[in-house]
């Protein structure tokens, strides 16, 4: 419980004690009406302290009509006609509901922090052979840290010595420990299990993986979903209508068929206001969406806002990147065809030119070469997204990339058409041959896409920068509805814009990608989903949903969570409106008094809140 909430509970408890003492005094002592009024008024002002503050804030923001307006008007009216016990009881139960809602939010936030806020209290830095414990925020890129068995990794780093197993469950949701060797990147928040390792810091503490994720989760609690916005708009219309209805109940009968019976009808009008207060709706909707965010986090899915839960539930168009998303992203050299030199020499040149690139294609070339890379022979390396790499190797400028790179350099090359990715190599301005690299489709891709087609009636689209020869074959195997290849990042964005233009207001478009090149479309889509994007700050920033493990079925989990959240939200809205409608009718004709109205309103409110809180325990 936060300090603010503790203070609020203390003030509330004092008010309740004053209220109880006022009731006791009324029962056992003979008091004047003036003394009773002052005693109950003090209790009323203490208990309603936070409600008055909220009303003041709303008035300053020119939000004149809200649930606070209804409840305070009703209670002031009850005090005005001498219904002191009932008037204070209404504000007491209303404030109890608000405290319960604040406590639920506090617990939900704490649950998220327990799931994700796993930043260690210290780090062990090594300087000139000596070890020092320091605050993780004091670490800078390039520092050497020592991580012992059982310790959490303080910041993102790369192992320089030692081998171990890493528990990545807190970050990726993966239960099986991962082996880690020198050269492997390790992420903050994970646990070193069984070996002493040294690592070089890659990121500042504030830029580490866990810190970025925590910021997203905290921001998510400040973002409103469409249904929440609906409740806000609903309150603006609902509140004045209820006020007019209450005044009509107070005034019209006393001027017509029940002439002069002001006390009765003013009392019924106040009951009307108490019942009309939309507390259950206003409180339960944000709790339901927060519960959905908590559930998603528990399953390794970070939602940046409740609005993306709602949009995902409505999604009917899914656009996927290919490499690393639908396919493993682990390439293997399938064929080497050199011109004017041995195939081994062509592979050696390509592997050296790509030695500084982290692209999966570069890694596959180095693996296929299988020998030590002489990095000191490679100079002025330049990587051009969507084209390839060029560098100076052994005194000559070498170009390694796709046919667009060859065209850009005005180099004539073979037109190779076969499944896989074709990498062309030119030494100087002379074409030297090509290398075919093949990728494999992920095992879970077929089942995931089948679910989207059957359960979401989705249109499936693939956008990729790879060649048609390899991409179209993948699209056919996965039974995609549309496939576009040879796309630059701006071309992908243009295709997404085309699909967005043909959608109506009830449809939503989802883009799924895994890297920096996908950032523009992830940002533009109604919902952008980043696949296993722990190392890509651009993907995390651009995406609306981040899957902490590179597994396509997590998309299905996210959809199920979003649908369950919306089901509960719609349940709460329907239940509250139906019950309120029935009680309002009974109150007008005199079957419900203030006490019954209070209990009914509190019952609706707590039932809605408890139903909404259940979402946080939902399991897919």
Q: Work out the angle at residue 192's Cα, subtended by the Cα atoms of residues 108 and 304, and round it to the nearest 5 degrees.
A: 30
Q: Is 449 in the same domain as 312?
A: yes
Q: Which tokens is 216 given?
A: 């997203």
Task: Label each residue of 420-470 as H, E or C.
Answer: CEEEEEEECCEEEEEEEEECCECCCHHHHHHHHHHHCCCEEEEECCCCHHH
- The enclosing domain of 307 has a CATH number of 3.40.50.1000
Domain count, the chain: 3
Q: Is 320 in the same domain as 352?
A: no
pLDDT at 170: 60
> 205-217 burial by CB neighbour count: b if 16+ within 10 A, else e?
beebbbbbbbebb
What pairs with residue 421 in β-bridges?
Answer: 437
pLDDT at 563: 92
The boundaries of the domain holding residue 299 are 291-326+442-559
Domain end residue (candidates: 172, 207, 242): 207
As annotated, the active-site residues are 321
Domain end residue (candidates: 518, 544, 559): 559
Domain end residue (candidates: 438, 470, 498): 438
In a domain, 99, yes or no: no
In a domain, 76, yes or no: no
- CA-to-CA distance for 167 and 174, rounded, in angstroms? 8
DSSP 326-383: TB----EEEEEEESSS-HHHHHHHHHHHTTT--SHHHHHHHHHH-S---GGGEEEEEE
In a domain, 276, yes or no: no
Task: Indicate the pairing of strand 130-134 with strand 421-427.
Answer: unpaired
Q: Is 310 in the same domain as 337?
A: no
User: Among candidates 44, 47, 148, which has minimal Cα distance to 95?
Assistant: 47
pLDDT at 119: 62
Q: Mean pLDDT in each 10-residue stretch from start to end of the chain (620 residues)?
A: 82 93 90 90 92 85 74 78 80 77 64 56 91 92 93 91 80 61 87 90 82 58 52 71 86 87 84 72 73 83 82 92 80 88 93 82 87 89 81 92 89 81 90 88 92 93 79 88 84 89 87 75 86 56 79 92 89 83 83 73 76 74
Q: Is 135 in the same domain as 186?
A: yes
Full-prediction pTM beyond 0.75?
Answer: no
CB 121 within 8 A of CB 107: no
Q: Is 460 in the same domain as 548?
A: yes
In a domain, 8, yes or no: no
Helices H / strands E in the chain, number of each: 21, 22
Q: Is 322 in the same domain as 448?
A: yes
CB 443 within 8 A of CB 550: no
In a domain, 117, yes or no: no
Q: Is 484 in the same domain as 529?
A: yes
Q: Is 313 in the same domain as 461?
A: yes
Residue 282 DSSP SS3: helix
- The enclosing domain of 342 has a CATH number of 3.40.1110.10
Q: Is 310 in the same domain as 357?
A: no
Q: Count other Cβ atoms within 10 Å, centred on residue 97.
A: 21
Q: Is 447 in the same domain as 555?
A: yes
In a domain, 495, yes or no: yes
Q: Work out the angle at residue 425's Cα, subtended by the Cα atoms of residues 424 and 427, and round it to the nearest 5 degrees.
A: 155
pLDDT at 363: 82
DSSP 473-522: HHHHHTT-SEEE-S--HHHHHHHHHHHHHT--TT-EEEEEE-SGGGHHHH
- CA-to-CA distance for 543 and 554, rounded, in angstroms? 15
Q: Is 465 in the same domain as 360?
A: no
In a domain, 62, yes or no: no
Distances (CA, A) of 36 to 22, 40, 400: 7, 6, 89
Q: Is 430 in the same domain as 447?
A: no
In a domain, 244, yes or no: no
DSSP 8-state secondary structure symbol assigned to residue 137: G
For residue 258, give every residue at least 6 positions away whose Cβ sits within 8 Å of its Cβ, in sequence order, or none. 264, 265
């Amino acid at each position: 419980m936060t300090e603010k909430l503790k203070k609020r509970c203390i003030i509330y408890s004092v008010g309740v004690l004053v209220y109880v003492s006022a009731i006791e005094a009324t029962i056992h002592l003979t008091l004047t009406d003036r003394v009773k009024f002052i005693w109950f008024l003090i209790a009323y002002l203490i208990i309603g302290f936070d409600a008055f503050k909220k009303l003041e804030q709303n008035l300053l923001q020119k939000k004149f009509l809200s649930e606070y307006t209804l409840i305070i008007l009703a209670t002031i009216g009850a005090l005005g006609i001498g219904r002191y016990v009932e008037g204070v009881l209404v504000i007491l139960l209303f404030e109890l509901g608000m405290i319960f809602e604040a406590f639920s939010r506090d617990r939900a936030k704490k649950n998220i922090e327990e799931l994700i806020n796993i930043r260690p209290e210290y780090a062990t830095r090594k300087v000139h052979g000596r070890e020092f414990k320091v605050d993780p925020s004091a670490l800078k890129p390039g520092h050497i840290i020592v991580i012992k068995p059982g310790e959490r990794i303080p910041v993102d780093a790369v192992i320089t010595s030692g081998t171990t197993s890493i528990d990545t469950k807190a970050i990726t949701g993966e239960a099986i420990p991962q082996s880690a060797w020198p050269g492997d990147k390790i992420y903050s928040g994970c646990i070193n299990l069984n070996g002493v390792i040294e690592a070089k810091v890659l990121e500042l503490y504030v830029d580490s993986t866990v810190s970025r994720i925590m910021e997203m989760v905290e921001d998510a609690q400040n973002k409103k979903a469409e249904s929440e916005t609906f409740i806000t708009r609903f309150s603006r219309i609902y509140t004045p209508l209820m006020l007019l209805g209450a005044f009509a109940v107070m005034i019209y009968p006393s001027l017509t068929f029940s002439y002069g019976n002001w006390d009765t009808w003013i009392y019924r009008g106040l009951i009307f206001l108490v019942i009309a207060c939309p507390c259950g709706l206003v409180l339960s909707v944000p709790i339901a969406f927060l519960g959905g965010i908590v559930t998603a986090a528990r399953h390794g899915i970070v939602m940046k806002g409740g609005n993306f839960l709602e949009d995902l539930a409505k999604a009917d168009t899914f656009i996927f990147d290919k490499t690393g998303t639908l396919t493993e992203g682990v390439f293997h050299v399938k064929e080497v065809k050199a011109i004017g030199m041995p195939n081994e020499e062509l592979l050696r040149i390509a592997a050296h030119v790509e030695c500084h690139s982290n692209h999966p294609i570069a890694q596959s070339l180095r693996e296929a070469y299988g020998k030590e890379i002489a990095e000191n022979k490679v100079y002025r390396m330049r990587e051009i997204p969507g084209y390839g790499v060029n560098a100076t190797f052994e005194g000559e400028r070498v170009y390694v990339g796709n046919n667009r790179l060859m065209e850009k350099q005005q180099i004539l090359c073979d037109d190779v058409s076969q499944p896989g990715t074709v990498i062309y190599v030119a030494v100087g301005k002379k074409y030297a041959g090509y290398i075919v690299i093949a990728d494999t489709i992920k095992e879970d891709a077929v089942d995931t896409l089948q679910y989207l087609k059957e359960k979401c009636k989705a249109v499936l689209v693939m956008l990729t920068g790879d060649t048609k020869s390899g991409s179209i074959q993948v699209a056919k195997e996965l039974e995609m509805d549309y496939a576009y290849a040879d796309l630059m990042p701006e071309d992908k964005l243009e295709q997404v814009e085309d699909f967005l233009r043909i959608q109506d207001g009830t449809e939503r478009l989802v883009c799924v990608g895994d890297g920096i090149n996908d950032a523009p479309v992830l940002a533009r889509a109604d919902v952008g989903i980043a696949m296993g994007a722990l190392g890509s700050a651009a993907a995390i920033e651009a995406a609306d949903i981040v899957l902490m493990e590179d597994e396509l079925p997590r998309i299905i989990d996210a959809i199920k969570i979003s649908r369950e959240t919306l089901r509960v939200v719609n349940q709460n809205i329907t239940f509250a409106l139906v019950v309120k409608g029935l009680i309002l009718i009974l109150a007008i004709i005199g079957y419900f008094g203030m006490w019954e109205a209070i209990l009914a309103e509190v019952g609706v409110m707590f039932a809605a809140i408890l139903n909404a809180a259940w979402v946080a325990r939902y399991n897919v």
